[in-house]
């Protein structure tokens, strides 16, 4: 446990010694801030239009839950943006160590492979959290100005979903990083794989063959939809957890096989 913590701390602070972390966080927050503003404005406008229309024709405006609509659209956008951002977090995890030869230090220290892998995984997860945390402010601000106050549950379930989705993609990206010595190759192939997972999601919307169903189940983004709607379904939680476990297992195997590939 102490060893995992040591690896994690080093890896986490390593993000902040290079400009990558600051660039990633800044751009991420800029983009998400813009989307939040845009989505919020769109729904506020829509609801105002709806109430104006209903006043013209007499009668009550249909009830509109602006906050949960905003949350839903925001998290859907967020999940897409993650496809672009997360490869930056995972590309260096192993590729850079291999290139610099520091893997030799880790592999000849009294550390088990599992400790190294979990330490690194938790570090990227922690970095992901620190990048995600400021977006919570958006909802806090929205809460302050909304009348009546909206319920937190759809927002929290959205964050739970983002966390599970992010955790799965990070685990997959970490695995890809073990396969190469080159950060660029790691980042481009991670992005490519994420994109395929994303496209898989499109493909499953058409056709309802057995294959389509299987692909549908494997689509990482598909399982995310319910969370952004405010529904927490254990099927999806189990899917993401097993996805993470599988990716970590692949990382472990690949990491151990590096000893034979030297």
Place of tokens 């692909």: 215
CB 179 within 8 A of CB 257: no
Of 70 and 95, the one with the shorter C-beta distance to another protein is: 95
User: In sequence order, which ranges of the chain are alpha helices (DSSP H)?
Assistant: 2-17, 19-56, 66-90, 92-100, 103-108, 113-132, 136-145, 153-177, 183-203, 210-218, 225-228, 234-261
Residue among 94 and 239 whose Cβ is closer to another protein: 94
Q: Which lies closer to another protein via its Cβ, residue 7 or residue 176?
A: 7
List the Cα angle 85/253/175 in 5-degree steps: 5
Q: Which is nearer to another protein, 112 or 143 (CB)?
A: 112
Query: Token pair of 42, please?
Result: 């769109």
Binding stretches for another protein (CB under 8 A): 2-3, 6-7, 10, 14, 17-18, 100-112, 259-260, 262
Sign for the pseudo-dihedral over CA of 83, 84, 88, 94: positive
In angstroms, what is the minimal distance from the CB of 43 to another protein? 44
- Determine phi and psi for 71, rounding to 5 degrees: -55, -45
| CB of 189 or CB of 254, closer to another protein | 254
CB of 98 vs another protein, minimal distance in Å: 11
- Closest C-alpha among 183, 172, 9 to residue 94: 183
For the bound state, the minimum distance from the C-beta of residue 13 to another protein, rounded and expressed in Å, comes to 8
> Least distance in Å: CB of 14 to another protein?
6
Q: Assign 232 to helix, strand or coil.
A: coil
Could you tell me the smallest distance in angstroms from the CB atom of residue 107 to another protein? 5
Min separation Cβ 87 and another protein, Å: 20
Task: Return the number of the residue (10 or 149) whose C-beta is nearest another protein.
Answer: 10
């Amino acid at each position: 446990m102490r060893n995992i913590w040591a690896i994690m701390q080093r890896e986490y602070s390593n993000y902040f010694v290079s400009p990558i972390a600051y660039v990633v966080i800044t751009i991420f927050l800029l983009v998400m801030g813009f989307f939040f503003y845009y989505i919020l404005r769109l729904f506020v406008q829509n609801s105002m239009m709806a109430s104006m229309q209903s006043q013209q024709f007499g009668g009550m405006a249909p009830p509109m839950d602006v906050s949960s609509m905003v949350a839903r659209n925001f998290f859907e956008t967020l999940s897409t943006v993650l496809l672009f951002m997360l490869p930056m977090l995972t590309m260096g995890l192993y590729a850079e160590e291999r290139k610099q030869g520091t893997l030799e230090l880790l592999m000849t220290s009294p550390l088990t492979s599992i400790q190294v892998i979990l330490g690194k995984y938790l570090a990227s997860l922690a970095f992901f959290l620190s990048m995600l945390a400021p977006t919570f402010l958006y909802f806090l601000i929205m809460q302050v100005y909304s009348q009546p106050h909206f319920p937190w549950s759809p927002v929290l379930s959205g964050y739970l979903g983002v966390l599970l989705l992010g955790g799965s993609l990070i685990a997959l990206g970490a695995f890809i990083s073990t396969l190469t010595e080159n950060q660029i190759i790691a980042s481009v192939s991670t992005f490519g794989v994420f994109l395929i997972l994303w496209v898989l999601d499109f493909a499953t919307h058409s056709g309802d063959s057995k294959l389509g169903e299987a692909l549908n189940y494997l689509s990482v983004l598909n399982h995310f939809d319910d969370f952004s709607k405010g529904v927490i379904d254990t099927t999806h939680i189990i899917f993401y957890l097993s996805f993470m476990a599988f990716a970590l297992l692949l990382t472990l195997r690949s990491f151990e096989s590096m000893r034979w590939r030297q």
